[in-house]
Amino acid sequence: MSSDGGEDNAAPRHDEDNLISHQDNLRESIEELWYLKEVSFRPSPDAALRTLKIITQNYNGPCSFIAICNILLLRGQIEIQPPERTSVSYDYLARLLGEYLLTATPGEDTTAALSVMPATRKGMDLNPLFTGTTAFRPAGEGGELKLFEHAGIKLVHGWLADPDSPEYQILSRTQDYDTSVNLIVEADHLTKGRLLASAEVPAEPEAGGSSSSGGSYNTLSRDDRQKVQDAVIIRDFIDKTQSQLTYYGLFTLASAIEPGQLVALFRNSHLSVLYKPHGPDGGLYTLVTDQVFLNEASVVWERFEDVEGGMSSFVDSDFIHSSPAGGDYAGYTAESALAALEAETAGLTLEERGDAELARQLQAEEDERAHQAREARRARERAREELTASQQHVPRSALPADEPAKKAKRKGDCIIM
């Protein structure tokens, strides 16, 4: 009967749905499992050199949450146990951080900070002001900022407008990113969608005349026309500073951060650990937490010295320049990752081993993406080197008689994170 056939078909579909749901949950669990890397750190010149483990992150790792935990680890305010542990989960770190907040701030209301922690799995809603390195507007109930406050971590950014720049006067009125974007959206609506398609500031119409821009701009009030002009300037500033950092902001950070200070840096919609070591160097460094450097012991910090990152270089725990053995992705191989998975899944049941097999498959897919990125980068480097070499060794006789030999130009190496 048709009803019997329907029941028979429903059961396999139900099982398949359960399997898909189970695999999705497992995928989320794997994405929330982060490997630990052993580093050395000396918090002050007279302090002993400490060996500790920091948290590395994969592509989908919650950078804000991991940055907070890594700062507390470097300070020695939390500790991952046992020492032989090779990975941690979100749940483990959340308990560790929650316990720290409760014991470090006795008597204070930590409700807002603790309630926002689950949201850190997907990131944080941070709204920087263009007028100060430590200026952020709270989002929602402000739990994000309370989390940093109770953890005793300074949150900074370098997305600042230079007071001598033409856009500063406008940005000092809108102040923060969200308000500035809202003005752009409002101005785009006033111009019926033409603002974002235009690269020029609409001209102010002369008395008795009309604007050269034409269209709906002519019908706007003076206040609305001013909004449009301000929005274009703000839009151009945001377009020119897509890395969410300016040189004025970088120089301000360099002078504002004290030697030995660990802070959380907001940049590129990403949160990282920023540190200024003691000594005559006076430079700024960000902690390297990318999982692809897991087995590169000499890659611990990255020098933070330009807006786009093209001049960055890696250093070790002693802030001595390091050269990764096999390029940006060296030290993180399918073999090492799968070996770690094998060690952690030993003694599992058949069903659990099936889950582990899926975990290995997901890990292999991530390794393949890293491998493809590495090969593409090496191919570009070889092509650039071959082109440079061919230009440098062209015999003079091969050039036209009226054209002098030209010296080949070589761009500086750019490390792409």
Q: What is d(CA 299, CA 320) in angstroms, rounded to the nearest whole number?
A: 10
Q: What is the mean pLDDT of residues 123-149?
A: 85
Instruction: State pLDDT tens for residues 245-267.
Output: 999 999 999 999 999 999 999 99
325 secondary structure, DSSP code = T
CA geometry: angle 308, 121, 110, nearest 5 deg: 105
Q: What is the mean pLDDT of residues 213-230?
A: 81
Q: What is d(CA 10, CA 46) in angstroms, rounded to the nearest whole number?
A: 70
Torsion over CA: 320, 324, 328, 332 (sign): negative
Decide: 150 and 77 in contact? Cβ < 8 Å.
no
Q: What is the mean pLDDT of residues 31-52?
A: 88
Q: What is the mean pLDDT of residues 24-52?
A: 79
Q: What is the mean pLDDT of residues 393-407?
A: 38
- Reading the block at residue 164, the tokens are 């001598």
The per-residue pLDDT for 279 is: 80
The pLDDT-based confidence of 58 (bands split at 50, 70, 90) is: confident
Decide: 306 and 295 in contact? Cβ < 8 Å.
no
Instruction: State pLDDT tens for residues 71-120.
Output: 999 999 999 999 899 999 999 999 999 999 999 888 888 888 888 888 88
Beta-bridged to residue 136, according to DSSP, are 128
- pLDDT above 60: residue 182: yes
Q: Which residues of 142-176 are buried (b: 16+ CB within 10 A; e: fewer)?
A: ebbbbbbbbbebbbbbbbbbeeeeebbebbeebbb
Q: What percent of the chain has pLDDT over 70?
A: 64
- pLDDT above 80: residue 270: yes
Lowest-confidence range among 18-32, 291-305, 397-411? 397-411
The per-residue pLDDT for 328 is: 42
The three-state secondary structure class of 246 is: coil
The pLDDT-based confidence of 152 (bands split at 50, 70, 90) is: very high
Lowest-confidence range among 38-42, 318-322, 395-399? 395-399
The per-residue pLDDT for 356 is: 53
Instruction: State pLDDT tens for residues 339-374.
Output: 555 555 554 454 545 555 555 565 566 556 555 655
- pLDDT above 70: residue 387: no
The per-residue pLDDT for 412 is: 35
Query: Among 64, 149, 139, which Cα is nearest to 110's?
Result: 149
- pLDDT above 90: residue 69: yes
- pLDDT above 50: residue 396: no
Decide: 195 and 232 in contact? Cβ < 8 Å.
yes
CA geometry: angle 184, 185, 186, nearest 5 deg: 90
Q: What is the mean pLDDT of residues 217-241?
A: 91
Decide: 413 and 327 in contact? Cβ < 8 Å.
no
The per-residue pLDDT for 214 is: 47
Q: What is the mean pLDDT of residues 192-218?
A: 58
Could you tell me the residue ranges of all domains in the chain?
Answer: 16-159+245-334, 168-240
Lowest-confidence range among 117-121, 390-394, 398-402? 398-402
Q: What is d(CA 64, CA 264) in angstroms, rounded to the nearest whole number?
A: 8
The three-state secondary structure class of 262 is: strand
The per-residue pLDDT for 406 is: 36
Q: What is d(CA 183, CA 174) in angstroms, rounded to the nearest whole number?
A: 8
- pLDDT above 80: residue 16: no
The per-residue pLDDT for 310 is: 77
Q: What is d(CA 125, CA 64) in angstroms, rounded to the nearest whole number?
A: 10
Q: Which residues of 22-58 are buried (b: 16+ CB within 10 A; e: fewer)?
A: eeeebeeebbbbbbbbebebbbeeeeeeeebbbbbbb
Q: What is the mean pLDDT of residues 138-155?
A: 83
The pLDDT-based confidence of 334 (bands split at 50, 70, 90) is: very low
Angstrom CA distances, 365 to 31, 207, 417, stand at 13, 65, 19
pTM above 0.75, yes or no: no
Q: What is the mean pLDDT of residues 183-189?
A: 92
The per-residue pLDDT for 306 is: 87
- pLDDT above 70: residue 136: yes
The per-residue pLDDT for 60 is: 60
